[in-house]
């Protein structure tokens, strides 16, 4: 949609999330301009650190939103029955085409869906090799590959969660540097009278305000993103477990050993 190609499974298209982050950042600062001064000053006229922090937080929120919607779409697959309901139906090389056709009618590209991709890979092997004993192993192998893909989809978010607090600490260092530099310049000038110290102390407090505000904003954003990502990660892991249960109940339990497979099991 919107001329962006969809990433596989619950992965997010990076250019789309980047564009969304730019729009969210603009909307955020548009709203900040209408907020009370006590809030507005924490994000404006504090150097470049708050802008970078808000942008990375917006990018993280865009990724989390798209992953949440894609996970909801993936979950819908669990509600469809692709295996005939009557108890006499068994999976064998001769009935595989019926199941694959049912999947093709539900989705345009089964490779984009965790559950259907897992099933089509296993059933394609059953169709070509005719060994039902291999289906369970293939499903388990695909489940491990899907978990690895799921973990890799959080790499960019993990990097942002590392970078956002670091930006806050950089803001702290810059703020303290400004405060100490201004005060040190006054002390070095040799003019330590009240008239000179009072403006210097104002500069010190302004620098300290930058230091604490940037750190506070970064830590709050990082905390909210981390909590949201934790709940989303848990939901995705539960979905993968549901896919494994679905495959066991609807695929593995409906298999029928062929004479060749029974002979091989007896020999083993």
Show me where the domains of the chain are located.
14-267
According to DSSP, the residues that pair with 255 across neighbouring strands are: 91
Amino acid 87: pLDDT: 72
Lowest mean pLDDT among 78-87, 127-136, 218-227: 127-136
Q: Residue 202's pLDDT band (boundaries 50, 70, 90)?
A: low
Question: Over 50: is that where the pLDDT of 94 sits?
Answer: yes
Q: Give the model confidence (pLDDT) of 129-180 as tens digits.
A: 767 778 888 889 999 999 999 999 999 999 999 999 999 888 887 777 766 6
| Mean per-residue pLDDT of the chain | 82
Question: Over 70: is that where the pLDDT of 188 sits?
Answer: no
Provide φ and ψ at 255, rounded to 5°. Answer: -80, 150
Amino acid 62: pLDDT: 95
Measured distance CA(161)–CA(223) in Å, rounded: 9
Provide φ and ψ at 102, rounded to 5°. Answer: -65, -40
Closest C-alpha to 135, from 72, 94, 93: 93
Question: Over 50: is that where the pLDDT of 265 sits?
Answer: no
Average pLDDT of 93-116? 88
Ranges of H-type helices in the chain: 14-32, 37-40, 49-76, 96-106, 114-129, 135-152, 155-188, 194-250, 259-267
Coil, strand or helix at 91: strand
Measured distance CA(199)–CA(217) in Å, rounded: 27
Percentage of the chain modeled with pLDDT above 90: 39
Provide φ and ψ at 44, rounded to 5°. Answer: -125, 145
Coil, strand or helix at 255: strand
Is the full-model pTM beyond 0.85? no
C-alpha to C-alpha distances, 175 to 49, 51, 170, nearest whole angstrom: 11, 15, 9
Contacts of 230 (CB under 8 A, 6+ apart): none
Lowest mean pLDDT among 15-29, 38-52, 187-201, 249-263: 187-201
Amino acid 42: pLDDT: 76
Long-range contacts of 134-137 (CB under 8 A, 24+ apart): 135/91, 135/251, 135/252, 135/255, 136/252
């Amino acid at each position: 949609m919107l001329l962006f190609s969809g990433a596989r499974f619950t992965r997010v298209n990076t250019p789309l999330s980047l564009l969304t982050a730019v729009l969210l950042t603009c909307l955020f600062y548009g709203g900040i301009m209408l907020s009370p001064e006590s809030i507005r000053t924490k994000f404006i006229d504090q150097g470049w650190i708050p802008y970078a922090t808000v942008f990375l937080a917006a990018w993280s929120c865009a990724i989390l939103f798209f992953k949440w919607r894609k996970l909801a779409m993936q979950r819908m697959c669990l509600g469809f029955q692709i295996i005939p309901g009557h108890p006499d139906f068994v999976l064998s090389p001769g009935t595989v085409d019926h199941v694959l056709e049912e999947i093709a009618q539900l989705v345009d590209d089964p490779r984009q869906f965790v559950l259907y991709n897992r099933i089509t890979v296993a059933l394609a092997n059953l169709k070509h090799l005719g060994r039902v004993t291999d289906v369970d192993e293939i499903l388990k192998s695909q489940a491990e590959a899907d978990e690895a893909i799921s973990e890799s989809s959080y790499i960019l978010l993990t990097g942002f969660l590392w970078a956002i607090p670091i930006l806050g600490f950089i803001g702290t260092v810059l703020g303290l540097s400004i405060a100490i530099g201004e005060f040190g310049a006054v002390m070095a000038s040799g003019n330590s009278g009240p008239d000179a110290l009072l403006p210097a102390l104002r500069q010190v407090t302004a620098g300290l305000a930058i230091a604490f505000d940037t750190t506070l904003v970064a830590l709050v954003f990082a905390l909210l993103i981390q909590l949201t990502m934790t709940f989303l990660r848990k939901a995705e892991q539960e979905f993968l477990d549901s896919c494994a249960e679905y495959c066991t109940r609807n695929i593995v339990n409906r298999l029928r050993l062929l004479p060749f497979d029974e002979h091989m099991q007896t020999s083993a």
